[in-house]
Amino acid sequence: MAKLLEVRNLTTQFFTSAGTVQAVDEISFDIDEGETVAVVGESGCGKSVSALSILRLIPWPPGKIVAGTIHFLEQDLLALSDQEIRKIRGRQISMVFQEPMTSLNPVLTIGLQLTETMMHHLGLSAEKAHQRAAELLTMVGISEPERRLSQFPHHLSGGMRQRVMIALALSCEPKLIIADEPTTALDVTIQAQILELMKDLTKQLGVALIVITHNLGVVARYADRVNVMYAGKMIEMGRARQIYHDPRHPYTLGLLASVPRMDQPRGNRLVPIEGQPPDLTRLDNGCAFRPRCRFAADRCANEFPALDIVDDGHSAACWRVDEIGDLRTAS
């Protein structure tokens, strides 16, 4: 499968009065055409900043991409002018933001927000764009599309607004969609419907999808591959089955242990990850997870391990990666 997106050593920092925030710290990953990749981790680990960096939406000041490369369809996005990157956003790379009520313009109708995008990027006439907008609403499961096009965002439920955001993301037939916490503030049933919809449509249309979430359980059945982030770094990467059945980083173990699972005996206790994420302005040379890690060794305080290959397509950044399976069983 051809490479669609290649990110190498991406580093994004925020310069604040409290110090320099290492929001994204030398991360590297690939996205293949048509695949779904989940990026998981606690709030503040750098998931959303990495997505905004791909689209060059980091606000300056205080944020800045200070190092790395981002190649999309063999084009270096960081080398493009502002005018050139605007042609990529929405047209070839789309984004579904966390909260649709704040992402949709409250004073414009749903129809105007959909048609404006297509008229700008695809050069469609107003009539053709309106027809396409109605088709998109039908595609994402919204009934009475003609009526909905004349309504405003506050007329719709949270689930319907998120469906509109997905329709917007698909409107210009992009190659890649980035969904940042697409199920935030939705109930469990609607969450499953939205994720199922996104998975079905991306497969049907051949669109690659990056799903950003803090919940490993949400992506268990939807992702082809999973990237786990902690304190601005990628600490484990692999196919979904490898991450769920053979996790090799203590943080990934902690995330999995804190999520209810249907394949575990009823009544099993959920084990929280003790402690708090680190202050990203005060990171040292060691592993940032060590204060919360039950497997920490002396070496963890002095050096941060590189991503080490565990198996084909599976890697983890832990000094004890080779023995973590045995340690997990023993504990």
pLDDT class of 327 with cuts at 50, 70, 90: low
Give pLDDT tens digits for 172-211.
999 999 999 988 778 888 888 888 898 898 889 999 999 9
**pLDDT of amino acid 257:** 85
Domains of the chain: 3-330 (3.40.50.300)
**pLDDT of amino acid 26:** 96
**pLDDT of amino acid 331:** 55
Q: Which helix (H) or strand (E) holds 166?
A: helix 158-170
Quick one: which of 170, 140, 164, 174 has its CA closest to 31? 174
Does the pLDDT of residue 104 top 90, yes or no? yes
Give pLDDT tens digits for 298-318.
999 999 999 989 989 999 999
Q: What is the pTM of this model?
A: 0.93
User: Which one-letter amino acid corresponds to residue 216?
Assistant: L
Rounded to whole angstroms, the Cα distance separating 16 from 129 reads 43
**pLDDT of amino acid 89:** 94
